[in-house]
Chains A and B, each alone.
Chain A
Amino acid sequence: MNVAVTVNGTLYERDVEARKLLIHFLRDDLDLTGSHIGCDTGNCGACSVILDGTLVKSCMVLAVQANGSEIETVEGLADGEQLTALQRAFTDHHALQCGYCTPGMLMSATSLLRSNPSPSDEDIRKALQGNICRCTGYWNIFEAVKSVAR
Chain B
Amino acid sequence: MTTIAPEKIEVGKSLLGESVPRKEDRRLTQGQGVFVDDIKRHGMGYLHFVRSPYAHAHIASIDVSKAEEIKGVYGTLTGEEVAALTDPFFQIASEPGGKIKDFSLAVGKVRFVGEPVVAVVAETRELARDASELVEVEYEPLDALVDARVALGSEAPVLHDDAGGNLMWEGVYEWGDLDQAFADADQVIKIDELHFHRFNSTPLECDGALVEYNRGTGQWTIHTNNQFPGFAAIMMGPAMRCGLDKLRFVTQDIGGGFGNKITSHPQLVTCCLLSRKLNRPIQWTEWRTDFHMSMSHGNERWFRDTEVAVKDDGTLLGFRTKALDDAGAWLRYEPLGGVIWAQVTPGMYRWRHIRVEFTQVATNKAPVSPNRGYSRMQHLWFTERVIDIVARELGLDPVEVRKRNYIRAEDMPYETPNGCIYDSGDYARMLDIALDLIGWDSMGEKRRDAESRGKRLGVGIGSTLDSGTNNFGQSRMINPELQFSGNNEVATVKLDIFGEIVVTLGTTPQGQGHETTASQVVAEILNCSVDDVHVRAGHDSYWNSHAGFSGTYASQFAVTGLSAVKGATEMLREEIKKLASVIFGGVPVEALELAEGGVRIKDNPEAFLPFMACGAIINANNAGLPEDLGVTLNCRYVYRPPFQVPDIERKFGNLTLTYAAQIHVAVVEVDPETGYYDIVDYAAVDDCGKRINPQIVEGQVMGATAQAIGAVMHETFEYDEDGNLLTPNFYDYHVPHALDMPPLHTGAIESPSPFTPLGTKGMGEGGGAGIHAVCAAIQDATGKIVTDSHNPYHRVWELMR
Q: Which residues of A contact B (CB under 8 A)?
A: 17, 19-20, 24, 27-28, 31-41, 43-44, 46, 73-75, 77-78, 83, 87, 90-92, 94, 96-103, 106, 124-126, 128-143
Contacts and interface: CB of A to CB of B under 8 A. Distances in A.
Helix, strand, loop or mixed for chain B's interface?
loop
Contacts of B33: 99-100
26 contacts: A33-B37, A34-B32, A36-B255, A40-B288, A41-B730, A41-B731, A87-B29, A90-B25, A91-B25, A92-B21, A94-B22, A94-B695, A94-B696, A97-B256, A97-B511, A98-B205, A99-B24, A99-B29, A99-B253, A100-B204, A100-B255, A126-B739, A131-B738, A132-B730, A132-B737, A136-B706
Interface-central residue, B19, B510, B511, B736, by most chain A CB under 10 Å: B511
A129 B513 CA distance: 25
A125 B254 contact: no
B520 interface: no
A100 B706 contact: no
B31 A103 contact: yes
Contacts of B203: 98, 100, 134
Nearest to B735: A132
Interface of B: 1, 19, 21-22, 24-35, 37-38, 40, 125-126, 201-206, 253-258, 285, 287-289, 510-513, 695-696, 698-700, 702-703, 705-707, 729-731, 735-739, 741, 744
Nearest to B256: A98
A100 B205 contact: yes
A39 B729 contact: yes
Given A100-B204, A133-B204, A137-B703, A73 B31 contact: yes
**Which 4 pairs, one residue from A and one from B, show the smallest C-beta to C-beta distance?**
A34-B31, A99-B28, A137-B706, A100-B255
B256 A135 contact: yes
Given A99-B253, A134-B203, A83 B730 contact: no
Given A97-B512, A99-B511, A139-B702, 12 more contacts: A33-B31, A36-B37, A75-B30, A94-B696, A97-B511, A100-B205, A134-B201, A134-B735, A135-B703, A137-B705, A137-B736, A139-B741
Contacts of A75: 30-32
Given A36-B255, A91-B22, A139 B511 contact: no
B35 A100 contact: yes
Contacts of B34: 33
B21 A91 contact: yes
Given A98-B253, A134-B203, A37 B32 contact: no
A141 B702 CA distance: 11
Of B24, B25, B34, B256, chain A has the most CB atoms within 10 Å of the CB of: B25
A134 B702 CA distance: 10
B600 to A, nearest CB: 34
A142 B741 CA distance: 11
A36 B29 contact: no
Contacts of A17: 126
B224 to A, nearest CB: 15
A34 B19 CA distance: 27
B698 to A, nearest CB: 8
A75 B31 CA distance: 6
B699 A140 contact: yes
Chain A CB within 10 Å — which of B31, B289, B513 has the most?
A: B31
B256 A77 contact: no
B707 to A, nearest CB: 7
A36 B34 CA distance: 11
Nearest to A108: B738
B356 to A, nearest CB: 31
Contacts of A35: 31
Contacts of B202: 134
Given A38-B205, A138-B741, A139-B702, A106 B256 contact: no
B699 A136 contact: yes
Listed residue (A24, A34, A46, A130) with the most chain B CB atoms within 10 angstroms of its CB: A34
